[in-house]
Structure 1
Amino acid sequence: MRTQFLRSDYFTHSGVSLSGKNLINEQLTSDGFSWISGKQYCLTDIMQDSWCEMGSAWDRLVSDRYLSDGGSYRERRMGKYHFFPWRDCLEKQDVEGIYYQATSINTTNGGVKRRSGPLEESFANNLFLHNLIRLYYTLLPVPDEWHEQSWLVYVHPFRILAAPNMVGYPTPEGIHRDGHLFTVQVFVRKENVVEDSAESQIWSEDERSLLFAKTFGYPLDTLIINDERVKHCVSPLFASGSSRGTRDIFTINFNLLSNNSPTKMY
């Protein structure tokens, strides 16, 4: 999973550099979302090695047994952290790996406590992941006073499966919100899939206007979403040829710890 990264004028945070920080923040403020190419990142050798070490974790995710359509096309794990910006302190929280969304957020698979297992320790404690969480936080357009509050951060690695006789649905609920303040989607890799399948889409709140559409293709391609301003979905994933296809990503969700979010993790 080693990747070459282009160099330019970068904003740097703990060994993870990113170009175009001001534009990203402006897009989040004006549009409610921002696309970041994986080519905008630059990593130190230590961060590059740490990023590569994460890769094998997607081979050990847990099958999602709670899909209302009875499908077996999604695997996942989950982790929870508390983040204290004024101290730059990120603390991993123990979880059983139970995820709950209110039906007001997820009409397809909500209203049920879904168990899939916690993050593996090596993934949960990964240095690159921790620094990426810190970096993304600095991009969020939030009021100054929120930097003095405690934040709740969820991390989900996902694998979507597809086969000649099975379509993979990254978002079986269709156009939706996640129930967070901000959602970050980070691409890892895909194998043996139709190139333009699994298109990431941003929709207006009333679901009438498609605002943005792009397919993840380069490691660390990123989509940051203000979940309170826009909705999103991903089109179906199709295998290419006769082999099983996979699409690996992870999401990082940000909420104020004081918020009563309709999406919870235990």
Structure 2
Amino acid sequence: MNILKKEDNFDHNIFFEEIANIKKDYIKNGFVFISSSKFLELLSYLGVSNSELDFLKTIGNNLPPDPTLKFRESRNGRFFHNNSQGFIYRTEFQPFVLSSSEDFIRHDSGQLRKFTGLSEDLTRNAAFQGLLRIKNLIINNISIHPRPNLNYKTSDWVTTVFNLRTLTSKDLLGEPALEGVHSDGVDHTMTTILGYENMTDDSAITHIHSNEEKSGIGFSQTKKEYLLASMRHKNFLDTVLIKDNEHKHSLSPVYQKNEDKLANRDMLIFFTRKPCVEGHVSFDYDSNEPHPDYPVKFNVQ
């Protein structure tokens, strides 16, 4: 059965009704779980093909080592959401930094990290672009608690996308959130699973915490009264979206089912915030210039 067959008599109103329902839950709770089946449905409305989806399942096989974490392979890239003109495009390369003042407490907090860029095959993939387009529709025109030194007067957004594979072996435990309870220094964090191998059912559980919880501690040290929800990415494209400045989150490690084989977990992480103004830790690394070598541009709808 072709799950993503686009019907000739498709009514775009259905698509926007589905987006509105997700947005309603997101506004109410400050976080939302979007199931695999729901995201596949949304992407079908955008005309995404099965072959484009199947490509996402294999993109984690071509990732270089992460610059600071031994148990991770990674790439990243940046996208500018020009909502006033109705398109999203890839920006030029920029280093990446997250600070402890943004509730990100880890050995590389405040360190300027340089990742290998996202592959052009990924950025030109219609399913990948669909994920960005759908996120843009959900987060636009909703109230959020502002972060300092970001420009909330504009309708534009900046998204840094990470393509990540977390690995666990006999000798090395892969931790999707080594930093423990944290925020990502943005307005909206979206995490989407692409696949996994040899991973136990208690691996990589996402816990949503209130902002009263202490940053930088492990889940075993957290308080039950600050735990708002727990959820697990299980099926291809299961997605969690969090208002990042209103809730913190943590994740359990990736554990092996069979200790003789590597366990891995492949994700796309979308960090979206308003453009920086002077005084922000990323102000010098927040260019909106298009990528000179691998330009990509597509409509927001």
Residue identity opposite 1:118 in structure 2: G
Structure 2: unaligned runs, 5 residues or longer: 144-151, 214-222, 288-301
Q: Which runs of 4+ in 1 moved over 6 A?
A: none
Provide closer, same or farther for how the CA distance between residues 246 and 102 of structure 1 changes in structure 2, counting only shifts above 3 A: same
Structure 1: unaligned runs, 5 residues or longer: none
Match of 1:243? 261
Match of 2:291? none
Q: Does 1:64 align with 2:66?
A: yes
Residue identity opposite 1:63 in structure 2: P
Q: 1:16-46, CA deviations, whole angstroms, 9 ceiling, x for partnerless residues?
A: 9688433321222122100111111324464
Report the secondary structure of 1:169's partner residue.
coil
Q: CA–CA distance in 2 between the matches of 1:3 and 1:168?
A: 35
Q: 1:200 aligns with which of 206, 211, 222?
A: 206
Q: 1:135-192, CA deviations, whole angstroms, 9 ceiling, x for partnerless residues?
A: 1111116359x79622211111111001233211000000100001101101111110
Q: Does 1:152 align with 2:158?
A: yes
Match of 2:290? none
State the TM-score, normalized to the length of structure 2.
0.75
Q: 1:171-219, CA deviations, whole angstroms, 9 ceiling, x for partnerless residues?
A: 0000100001101101111110112211011110011411111111111
Identity of aligned residues (%): 21
Report the secondary structure of 1:101's partner residue.
coil
Count how many residue pairs are aligned between Structure 1 and Structure 2: 255
Shift of 1:82: 0.9
* 8 Å contact from structure 1 (residues 185, 251) kept in 2: yes
Q: CA–CA distance in 1 between the matches of 2:211 and 2:93?
A: 32
Q: CA–CA distance in 1 between the matches of 2:212 and 2:233?
A: 25
Which stretch of the first structure deviates more once superposed, 251-260 or 184-193?
A: 251-260
Q: 2:71 aligns with which of 66, 73, 77?
A: 73
* 8 Å contact from structure 2 (residues 211, 247) kept in 1: yes
Q: 2:90 aligns with which of 86, 89, 92?
A: 92
Match of 1:24? 22
Provide closer, same or farther for how the CA distance between residues 40 and 19 of structure 1 changes in structure 2, counting only shifts above 3 A: farther
Provide closer, same or farther for how the CA distance between residues 3 and 120 of structure 1 changes in structure 2, counting only shifts above 3 A: farther
Q: Which has the larger radius of gyration?
A: 2
Which stretch of the first structure deviates more once superposed, 151-160 or 24-33?
A: 24-33
Q: What aligned pairs does 1:149-228 form with structure 2 within 5 A after superposition?
A: 149-207=155-213, 208=223, 209-228=226-245
Residue identity opposite 1:256 in structure 2: K
Provide closer, same or farther for how the CA distance between residues 53 and 25 of structure 1 changes in structure 2, counting only shifts above 3 A: same
Match of 2:293? none
* 8 Å contact from structure 2 (residues 26, 32) kept in 1: yes
Provide closer, same or farther for how the CA distance between residues 60 and 204 of structure 1 changes in structure 2, counting only shifts above 3 A: same
State the TM-score, normalized to the length of structure 1.
0.85
Match of 1:101? 98
Match of 2:51? 49
Q: CA–CA distance in 1 between the matches of 2:154 and 2:183?
A: 26
Which stretch of the first structure deviates more once superposed, 215-224 or 22-31?
A: 22-31
* 8 Å contact from structure 2 (residues 56, 194) kept in 1: no
Shift of 1:262: 4.4
Report the secondary structure of 2:200's partner residue.
coil
Shift of 1:103: 2.7
Q: 1:213-238, CA deviations, whole angstroms, 9 ceiling, x for partnerless residues?
A: 11111111000010010001111111
Q: CA–CA distance in 2 between the matches of 1:188 and 1:240?
A: 19
Provide closer, same or farther for how the CA distance between residues 112 and 183 of structure 1 changes in structure 2, counting only shifts above 3 A: same
Provide closer, same or farther for how the CA distance between residues 248 and 259 of structure 1 changes in structure 2, counting only shifts above 3 A: farther
| Aligned CA-pair RMSD | 3.0
Q: CA–CA distance in 2 between the matches of 1:3 and 1:200?
A: 31
Q: CA–CA distance in 1 between the matches of 2:2 and 2:73?
A: 24
Residue identity opposite 2:185 in structure 1: G
Q: CA–CA distance in 1 between the matches of 2:121 and 2:174?
A: 28
* 8 Å contact from structure 1 (residues 183, 225) kept in 2: yes
